[in-house]
Amino acid sequence: MSEQELKALRVRIDSIDEKLLELISERARCAQEVARVKMKELVEGEQPVFYRPEREAWILKRIMERNPGPLGNEEMARLFREIMSTCLALEQPLKVAYLGPEGTFSQAAALKHFGHAVISQPMAAIDEVFREVVAGAVNFGVVPVENSTEGAVSHTLDCFLEHDIVICGEVELRIHHHLLVGDTTRTNSITRIYSHAQSLAQCRKWLDAHYPNVERVAVSSNAEAARRVKNEWNSAAIAGDMAASLYGLTRLAEKIEDHPDNSTRFLVIGNQQVPPTGDDKTSIIVSMSNKPGALHELLVPFHENGIDLTRIETRPSRSGKWTYVFFIDFMGHQQDPLVKAVLEKIREEAVALKVLGSYPRAVL
Ligand SMILES: O=C(O)C(=O)C[C@]1(C(=O)O)C=C[C@@H](O)C=C1
């Protein structure tokens, strides 16, 4: 390409950027107006609701449907995700708690869902994420709930039994693990590999094949594994991209997870109910009496009303009341007439029913 052509294209890019700049600023001013209207319409004692997950899901879906290319739908939606995130920060800077430390997949999930304009706050344990949300110290929390290879995160499920909290959204994150080393690591003398127990399990076959005699040490998070490697010449860590860049580590081997479609589902927890979008999920906890056929009885209303179950999990109960506890996710919103009918039927049969929330299905 000649210098002349390049110059002309750059002039065009500059002029497009100017238009983008004006349009993005106009959008941001609009968001400020939205905030003003929301404040104006408050009745006494009411708190304004700035973050509207149902509206965000609708916008992102529409962008993906109308995307003319050549950028892919996900890439385009990610750009709009960030524009909305910064617009929302003008209305209200959101505080979001996640399972820390910095660099964990939970943080990556929080930023994927809310965009980078939120204030993300690392917590030492899943239970702390719940407590911060309940106490109102943060607006939302992001907690892992299931992994496609390793199954349910039982600690998160137990927290739902203990806390009164609303599920406001879900995030799906593809989990890629890398074997990471520091500048001073002697790669031929690795005697120890650190990672979170779940990640070690997700890379079990790869480790058996490549590092059969190396000690595997489970630590509290992948980011903690990456942090330790920084100071030890004989160890490596299994962790993801965020932890690698946070601690300046190099990838000795990439994407070492045993299942290439390894992904983790996270839930967004908060204190606000989310209106329907037309493409929603609902999560409930049900306890049935300890009698034969109880699970069958519980599932029949879903089948009869043609409602798709997306997940069912059983946990031991914590009290006499919660004899058998089932965590159930299904398609639909609690305001849909069919879902209402199912919930009423279950309420009649169950020892207890707790609706954890209805929320838009993950868009990104
Ligand atoms: O539509 C609203 O209620 C807004 O506040 C605007 C906006 C946006 O930028 O489009 C910002 C934040 C909300 O979470 C949803 C949408």
pLDDT in tens, 115-160: 999 999 999 999 999 999 999 999 999 999 998 877 888 899 999 9
pTM: 0.92
Ligand 1 shell residues, CB under 6 Å: 31, 34, 50-52, 55-56, 59, 84, 87-88, 91
Does the domain spanning 273-360 belong to CATH 3.30.70.260? yes
Task: Tell me what pLDDT residue 291 has.
Answer: 80
The three-state secondary structure class of 354 is: strand
Q: Distance, CA 62 to ligand 1 centroid (Å)?
A: 14
Q: Distance, CA 143 to ligand 1 centroid (Å)?
A: 23
Best mutation site among 26, 42, 91, 94 for ligand 1 pocket (most ligand atoms within 8 Å of CB):
91
Q: Distance, CA 322 to ligand 1 centroid (Å)?
A: 39
Is it the case that residue 51 has pLDDT exceeding 70? yes
CA angle 231, 235, 239 (to 5 degrees): 90
For ligand 1, atom 6, the nearest C-alpha belongs to 31
User: Could you identify the atom of ligand 1 that is nearest to the CA of residue 83?
Assistant: 9
Tally of residues, the chain:
364
Q: Which residue, chain included where needed, has tokens 């962008």?
A: 63
For ligand 1, atom 12, the nearest C-alpha belongs to 88
Which one-letter DSSP state was computed for residue 164? -
Instruction: Give the span between the Cα atoms of 285 and 116, in whole angstroms.
Output: 32
CA angle 175, 176, 180 (to 5 degrees): 135
Per domain, the residue ranges of the chain are 178-261, 273-360
Task: Tell me what pLDDT residue 151 has.
Answer: 81
Residues with active-site annotation: 264, 266
**CATH number for the domain running over 178-261:** 3.40.190.10
Q: Distance, CA 34 to ligand 1 centroid (Å)?
A: 8
113 Cβ neighbours under 8 A, 6+ residues apart: 142, 169, 171, 266, 268, 364
User: Could you identify the atom of ligand 1 that is nearest to the CA of residue 87?
Assistant: 9
Among 267, 278, 282, 294, which residue's Cα sits nearest to residue 355?
282
Q: What is the pLDDT of residues 345-363, one digit of tens each?
A: 999 989 899 999 999 999 9
Q: How far is CA 161 from CA 97, 102, 336, in A?
A: 19, 27, 25
Contact assessment for residue 180 and residue 238, using Cβ atoms and an 8 Å cutoff? yes
